Amino acid sequence: MADNRADMRHITHWVFDLDNTLYPSDAPIMAQVDRRMTQYVARLLALPEDEARIVQKAYWRDYGTTLNGLMANHDVDLRDFLDFVHDVDPTVITPHPELADRIRALPGKRLVYTNGSLGHAENILDHMGLTHLFHDIFDVEASGFQPKPHQAGFDSFVSKFNLPVPESVFFEDSVRNLKTAHAMGFTTVLVRAKHGPRDEESAAPDEHPDHVHHAVDCLPTFLGSLRTTATPDDDAT
């Protein structure tokens, strides 16, 4: 019988996006962040929320993140922005013990690379019981506020961890973020939206763009299908 498992025997570094990747896209975390971004833009620019939302989405589309658009066009307190928009309730995510087991079994280094803040990543990972399974977290501040998909942010990430890109795999729900990863030589895994695309970044359940090596609908199932070689580190901390 043919072995249809994904061959990851060359992988030594496992890089995971956070939001809508390590937890299912139907968990209403980013909906909370999105609402709070609208509120922040409305307060900062003294706009009604419907107008603030138009500005917010235009900045996200043109600059990669709403924050980068605000930085380019307005005087904004970066820490205040991050603290405000990431003040969310993580308990809407149901912890997934199987996912923890699958991540624990991955050999080599395991990293989180997020466009969110460090505090946000810690809040989500703590609730999910995953914190101890990752060796480090690279957040938007560590990137010099150069978010994915910008090359500068990826370069900072690779440099900080001296990452061997050909031996690294990148898990993401964002189609456009994976374009940069693919161009750099990462193995790319698209975690597709559970109930279809939420926005222009995410993918439909049957979508498999050319720059994506593996497109999956269930992260724990895919991780359980991998062929690897080295012995896992178990807990990273």
Q: Residue 215: what residue type?
A: A
* pTM of this structure: 0.90
For residue 150, the surrounding DSSP H or E stretch is: none
Question: In sequence order, what DSSP letters do the residues of 38-64 get, joined into one string?
Answer: HHHHHHHHT--HHHHHHHHHHHHHHHS
Average pLDDT, the chain: 91
188: which strand partners? Answer: 170
> Which among 95, 88, 161, 162 is positioned nearest to 121, based on CA atoms?
88
Instruction: Tally the residues of the chain.
Output: 237
Which tens digits make up the pLDDT trace of 84-115? 999 999 999 999 999 999 999 999 999 999 99
Q: Which two tokens stand for residue 115?
A: 């466009």
Q: Tell me the three state secondary structure of residue 137.
A: strand
Position 206 scores a pLDDT of 75
Residues 56-88 have pLDDT tens digits of 999 988 987 899 899 999 999 999 999 999 999
Tell me the pLDDT band of 202, cut-offs 50, 70 and 90. Answer: low
Query: Over the Cα atoms of the chain, what is R_g?
Result: 18
Domains, the chain, in order of start with CATH, read 13-23+93-224 (3.40.50.1000), 30-85 (1.10.150.450)
